[in-house]
Every structure is written in structure tokens, then in C-alpha cells.
Amino acid sequence: MGKVGVPELFGSMVFDDRVMRARLSAKVYDSLRRIIDENGQLDEGVAEAVAKEMRDWAVENGATHFTHWFQPLTGVTAEKHDSFISPSPDGGVIMEFSGKELIKGEPDASSFPSGGLRATFEARGYTAWDPTSYAFIKDHTLCIPTAFCSYSGEALDKKTPLLRSMQALDRQAKRILKLFGKEVKYVRTSVGPEQEYFLIDAEMYQKRPDLVYTGRTLFGAMPPKGQELDDHYFGVIKPRVNAFMEDLNSELWKLGILAKTEHNEVAPAQHELAPIYSTTNVATDNNQLTMEIMQKVARKHGLVCLLHEKPFAGVNGSGKHNNWSMATDKGSNLLSPGDTPHENAQFLLFLCAVIQAVDDYQDLLRLAVATAGNDHRLGANEAPPAIISVFLGDELSAILEAIKNDTPYQGREKEFIKLGVDSLPKFSRDTTDRNRTSPFAFTGNKFEFRSLGSSNSIACCNIMLNAAVAESLKQYADRLEGAADFESALHELIKETITKHQRILFNGNGYGDEWIEEATKVRGLSNLKTTPDAMPHLLDEKNKKMLMAHKVFTESELESRCEIMLENYCKTVTIEAHTMVDMVRKDYLPAIEDYLYKLAKTTSLMKSVSGNVKCNYEISTMERLSELTDYILERVKDLEKSLADLKDIDSVVRSSEFIRDDMIPKMEHLRKHVDEAEMLASEECWPVPSYGKLLFSVY
Ligand code: ADP
Ligand code: MG
């Protein structure tokens, strides 16, 4: 760690509450705090005062530039740097930064995806300061977290709808709390995202065009050893990886990111980092930053950090777990079982709201994590299935069952359950049985949504989750606010909800085929296997209605997002297909050809020396490899045809379906033959590093 201790290092590059309190006048600080805590309005005077202090602080800490930092729909962050300099009459410069520059920016937005929302001739979008996420310094640049909108106010980013969804949930949750006699300033959702990634050697990476162009290997035979021994999970961290992690931690700490836990994951070369949870929009910004810094720090260590969901076939891919909860400004977690019957009734109501939300909007949660990369994981027996269900654990399930049936709870205290009256038992949190195969698991005082891909922005699933829970809460508040007898209305409501949404609750093995059968045939849950299956549901009437009612999206925003996500899917797979064609024609076929030449030459040479040699090895290898080159040629032509046919399809929905049904099977077919050839040819002749080298060469 060097000379500076962690507490001094932590947040040293962040214009956080400590800095604001120390530098802003009491009056400015108070109004800014109000804006942050209660969504107050920002006035120009405050903006001007904050901008001045921000600039002084940034310049003192080595910044020369500033940028509005935002999250366009590309899924990565964007920034355009402006320096602080402004000419002074004496021929020099002064460092300037105005309130206006803090609040609003106007990046040329024509190259960001808008899905038709913003005609390109009207290329300008604008960015607006999000004071709820602290500004920070990165690479000598003051980064101001912002939302990104079109001139007509339509969201062009992931942050705007996320903030809207948090507001929707805040509105409805406060109505419910009021019914329980609680006035709170706000209810916010918190998230702790666990992030998985691979680290491989940079030199090897550079030799693999598939990794360079697509982030994953498109070919590669399995090495003799994969993850069978489970010896990597939580294993001793290798020195080179350890040096990377130390460096990464201190970079993240400087940015005020609460990097907390790190360990090896299941696959060789796979690791995980988990921060301490924070408010959802801050956690989202921090997770984007974390992914960026991981890649940057890896490079410094001669490594490459792969964030793709499935960089290697045959070993686990990488996901992200979205640990989610709701809490009041007083820090009371609404998903924490309470000590009194009254508190437990409140807990059960919020629990019901989540259960109902997940059932009613399974499709939205599924499509929020749908990308070409994540399609390789969901349902592949290493990540949760594409079917969304909720795991509650045995104790909580038994309690809900008892409420549903008006039967005594057979738990530890064997008491009859009635809500809101003194007979409700205390129950402990269920932390013992943790079901790794469930996509949406209750883990004591939070829900863990496990279907995210490692490169997904966590904004998408939290938008859907917040909005869907807001909708359940709204329905509950509408009903309970008018109830003559609150206690019995509450009991009825909870009972009814449990009965109605029973089908989404599942504690069993989500990897089993029996579950897929039961979930789809008996329970009627949706099984949206791929992005083209899932994404169009964004525009289902029920989904549009809910998202628009809570003002999370407008209709045109939804249409544009659906289009962008499908377009992204099509582009991703198309690039992969082109890369395959390229590698086969330029690398693999010529390499096999060289090897065949060597075998043929050896055979004829050997035969010319002795009439007794059979050359079985040479000849059989040659014959099979030659056969394979013919197959490979046919398959690559198939794929080229598929790429050509795709050009003639004009709708993005049909393109995505064509890719799913025609192109991807052809890619898999082609890969199979190339991988077989790899097993037969010599390592020396093979044009790219093998899986074995990629996965086992970092020490
Ligand atoms: P795991 O066993 O899956 O690693 P942990 O208990 O270590 O689970 O927590 C994983 C993540 O959940 C961490 O990022 C942690 O900060 C976060 N977390 C813990 N409590 C909450 C909460 N109340 N709300 C949201 N996230 C939480
Ligand atoms: Mg987890």
C-alpha cells in the first residue's frame, strides 16, 4: 500500500460530502444537500458556487480538464474532455469553470445510438448534472456524472430512466410506509454488484484476433484440464494476479469505490470483485468505473481483463450478481424481517411486492439482461436458467405457506400466524440454504438477481426491478388506503398475493430439465432463451403501460431502446461471424495447409528411404485433416452466404431471428471442425495460442 493509509487514500479523488462540507459555505452546502436528498431544484447561484469550489479542488488535485461523464446506450461510458483554460489579457491562461458548464453540456451526439429518437441532422443531445452521484477525478480530468437526453427531453442514456425508476419506487414505498405510521424523507434502493472477470496474458491476447475483435474466443479445443477439479475456486491468488488486485483496489478506493471482497472464481483465470453496496445510481456509476479501471490496471500488469460473458467455451462464463434492497433515509432496510409483529407485517408486504413484481414482469427482468454475450450463459448449466423464478429458502417459504393456508407455522416457534396481531412469530433470516441455481434469491435482507452478464450495465435490470416493485406497491397502496380495517385488509392482501403468485416461487434445482418442463408446462412461466426471443417483449402492451404509468419511459423511448438492443445483438454476432471467416481463411486453413505439406513431404521422404515404413500416423492424420479442410471450406462458405443473406433483411427483429436461427448454428458448425483440426495438428503449426496457454499461463 506504500506510505498512504487506506483511510487517507479512500475517496481522495472524489468531490464527496467531506469535501463539500469543508469547502462550501454552510448555505450552499445545505441547499446542495437538499437537492441530493430530496430531489430539490437547483438554482444558478448554488451551481456557480459549487462549480467554483469544484474547479479549485480539481486543479489542486492535478486536473486540467473536465468532462460530463455519461452512459449512452452503447453500454459503456462516454466522455468528451474540455480543458479549464481560458485566455487572459496578459497572454496567459486562467482556469475557468462556470455553473453553466457544471449543470449542462452539449456533446455532439450524432454518433451515439438513439434508435431513431433524434434525427441525425439534429445531432445535439445535452447532458445534465446528476448531483446525487459525486464528481471525481480520473486521468487528470474532473468527471461530472450526468444524464444524457435529446433536445426534446427524451432519454438517450441508462441513467435517466434509472433515476426515474428510483423516484417511482420512492413515491409508492412512502405511501405504504405512511399506512404503517411512518413518515420518511425517502426510500432508496441499494445495490451491491459482484463482478466476475477473466485475466489473461496480454501477449497471448494480442495473438488471438477473436479476442481482440469480439472479446471472446470463437475457436479453441478444450485443454486436457478445465475446471473439473474445482481447484481454482477460492484458491490461493497467484502473485501476478495479486499485484493486479492490490493496484486495482487502490485505484478504486481513490475513486471512493468500496471494493471489498476479491477471490478466484470457478474457471481457471477467473476472478471476482465485490464492493460494499451503495445507492443504486451511485452503484451503477461505480460499477461502470470499476469495469473501466479493471481493464486499465490489467494492461499495466501486462494482462488483459476480459469482461465478456463467455470468453471460453467449456469453462464457466462470467456474470454479475445484483444484490438489491430498499431502505429509508433512516437506514431501515425494508427487506429485513423485524422484531415485532407490526414490523414483520410490513416486511411481508414489501416481500410480496417483490414476488409479485418478479412474477408480473418476468419478461422485463429477463430482457434487461439479454445480450448476445449473455445468451451463451443463461440456461447453460453454469448460470441460472433463462426462466425467472424466486428462491425464498425453506423458512420463509413455510411461513408464506402457513399464511396462505391459514395453518399454524410449523417452524421453530410453532405459532399460528396472523398478521398485525401479536401472534406473529419472530423468524430468523434464512442464510443457511443458499441456492446457487436460482436467478432471483432472497438472501436474508436483500434479493440477489443472478442473471446479469459480466459486461451488462446494472442500470437496465434495476430500472425494471424498481419500476415493477413500484407498480406492486402502488396497487397495494391504492387498496389499503381505502380500507376500513387496515389490519384485516393487510392480512387479506398478503394472503391473496401469495396465492396468486405462488407459481414464481421455486426452491429447487434450477439447472434440472424437470424444472424447465414444470416451469413452462405446469406453471406457465416464460422461458425466453435468447435475446431475439426476449427483447421484443419490451413493447408488450402490459409492459409499456406499466413503465409509462410510472414515468420511467415514454413510448418512443421504449421503441428506440428495443431497436437499439436488437441492433446491438445483430452487430455483435455479425462481427463475430466476420471474424470467424477472416480467421479461417487467413489463419486456420493456411496453417493446416502448411502442416499437411509437412506430413506429405515427410511421408514421401520416408517412403523413398525405406520401402518398409507404413507411415500410418502421417497418412491417417493427413487424410482426416484434408477431409476437415474440405468441410471447413464448405462451412465457411455457408457462413458467408448467411452474412450476405442478412444484408437483404430490412427489419431488425427479423434480422435478429435470422441470426439466431441461421447464422449462429452455422458458426457453431464451423467451429466444431476447426477445433477438431486443432486436436490433430501440431501445437507448433497452430496459428493462435491454445486454450491451455490462455487459461494457465498467468502466475
Ligand atoms: P455472496 O455470498 O453472494 O458473496 P455477500 O453477503 O458477500 O454475498 O454480499 C454480496 C454483495 O451484497 C456485497 O456487494 C454486499 O455489499 C451486498 N449487500 C449486502 N447487504 C446488502 C443490502 N442490504 N442491499 C444491497 N446489497 C447488499
Ligand atoms: Mg452472490
Mean pLDDT of 572-585: 98
Least confident interval from 5-9, 60-64, 229-233, 411-415 = 411-415
Other C-beta atoms closer than 10 Å to the C-beta of 197 total 24
pLDDT category at 119 given cuts 50, 70, 90 is low
| Distance (Å) of CA 624 to CA 256, 258, 590, 614, 629 | 58, 55, 16, 17, 9
Quick one: which ligand is closest to 451's CA?
Answer: 2
pLDDT band at 406 (very low <50, low <70, confident <90, very high): confident
**Residue to substitute in 257, 279, 321, 323 for testing ligand 1 pocket (most ligand atoms within 8 angstroms of CB):** 323
pLDDT of residue 3 exceeding 90, the answer is no
For residue 327, give the ligand 1 atom closest to its CA.
23
**Spatial distance between the Cα atoms of 187 and 168, rounded to a whole number of angstroms:** 10
From the CA of 434, give the closest atom in ligand 1: 2
Ligand 1 atom 11: residue of nearest CA? 192
Mean of the per-residue pLDDT values of the chain: 91
Mutational pocket test of ligand 1: of 189, 190, 194, 260, the residue with most ligand atoms within 8 Å of the beta carbon: 194
For residue 556, is pLDDT > 70? yes
- DSSP-derived secondary structure letter, 189: E
User: Considering every ligand atom, which ligand is closest to the CA of 324?
Assistant: 1
CA 448 – ligand 2 centroid, Å: 7
Integer Cα distance of 636 and 674 in angstroms: 11
Tell me, what's the pLDDT at 40? 74
- Report the distance separating Cα 555 and Cα 558, nearest Å: 5
> DSSP label at 387?
B
Does residue 415 register a pLDDT over 90? Answer: no
Asked if pLDDT for residue 428 goes beyond 70, the answer is: no
Q: Which ligand is nearest to the CA of 275?
A: 1
Output the ligand 1 site: residues, CB below 6 A: 190-192, 194, 261, 274-277, 321, 323-325, 333, 445-446
Q: Report the pLDDT value the prediction gives residue 435, as an integer from 0 to 100.
A: 74
Q: Which atom of ligand 1 is nearest to the CA of 276?
A: 16
CA dist 327 to 170, 191, 447, 474, 699, Å? 10, 11, 13, 17, 43
Q: Give the number of the atom of ligand 1 that is nearest the alpha carbon of residue 325.
A: 24
Name which residue sits closest to atom 14 of ligand 1, judged by CA: 192
Spell out which residues have Cβ within 5 A of ligand 2, the ion.
194, 321
pLDDT at 262: 87
Confidence of residue 233 (pLDDT cuts 50, 70, 90): confident
Mean pLDDT, to the nearest integer, of 477-492?
A: 94
pLDDT of residue 228: 78
Q: For residue 321, which atom of ligand 1 is closest to its CA?
A: 3
Atom of ligand 1 nearest to the CA of 274: 14
* Burial of 97 from C-beta contacts in 10 A (0-12 / 13-18 / 19+): buried
Q: How far is the CA of 194 from the centre of ligand 2 (A)?
A: 6
Helix/strand number for the chain, H first, E second:
24, 17
Closest CA to 368 of 456, 289, 436: 456
**Section 508-531 average pLDDT:** 93
593 CA to centre of ligand 1 in angstroms: 53
Q: In angstroms, what is the span from residue 315 Cα to ligand 2's centroid? A: 19
Q: How far is the CA of 526 from the centre of ligand 1 (A)?
A: 28
Which ligand sits nearest to residue 273's alpha carbon? 1
What's the rounded mean pLDDT across residues 356-361? 98
Q: Which atom of ligand 1 is nearest the CA belonging to 261? A: 7
Instruction: Give the closest ligand to the alpha carbon of residue 321.
Output: 2
Report the C-alpha gap between 261 and 234 in whole angstroms: 11
Band (pLDDT 50/70/90 cuts) for residue 426 is low
Question: For 132-179, what is each residue's pLDDT tens digit?
Answer: 999 999 999 999 999 998 887 889 999 999 999 999 999 999 999 999
Rounded to the nearest angstrom, the distance between the alpha carbon of 278 and the centre of ligand 1 is 10
**What are the beta bridge partners of residue 139?**
none
The rounded Å distance from CA 276 to ligand 1 centre is 7
Tell me, what's the pLDDT at 344? 86
Report helix, strand or coil for 667.
helix
Q: What is the DSSP pairing of strand 65-69 with strand 141-150? A: parallel
Per-residue pLDDT averaged across 568-595, rounded?
A: 98
The yes-or-no verdict on residue 248 having pLDDT over 50 is yes
Helical spans, DSSP H, in 584-650: 589-609, 616-647
Q: Tell me the pLDDT band of 412, cut-offs 50, 70 and 90.
A: low
Strand duo 187-201 + 125-129: pairing: unpaired
Closest residue to atom 6 of ligand 1, CA basis: 443
pLDDT tens-digit series, residues 530-544 = 999 999 999 999 999
* Residue 550, CA atoms < 13 Å, CB-side half-sphere: 32
Neighbouring residues of 648: CB distance < 8 A, sequence distance ≥ 6: none
Q: What would the mean pLDDT of 636-647 be, rounded to a whole number?
A: 98
Ligand 1 atom with the shortest distance to the CA of 323: 26
Q: Which 3 state secondary structure label does DSSP give 275?
A: strand
Distance, CA 610 to ligand 2 centroid (Å)?
65
Q: Could you tell me which residue, 372 or 224, shows the higher pLDDT? A: 372
Res 512: pLDDT? 85
Task: For residue 423, name the pLDDT band (cuts at 50, 70, 90).
Answer: very low
CA torsion, ordered 285, 287, 292, 293, to nearest 10 deg: 110
* Sequence-separated (6 or more) residues with CB below 8 Å from residue 187: 169, 170, 173, 174, 177, 326, 327, 328, 329, 334
Quickly list DSSP for 288-347.
HHHHHHHHHHHHHTTEEEE--S-SSTTS---EEEEEEEEEETT--BTTS--SSHHHHHHH
Q: Is 60 exceeded by the pLDDT of residue 121?
A: no
Tell how far the Cα of 496 is from the centroid of ligand 2, in angstroms: 31
Sign of CA dihedral 280, 286, 292, 295: negative
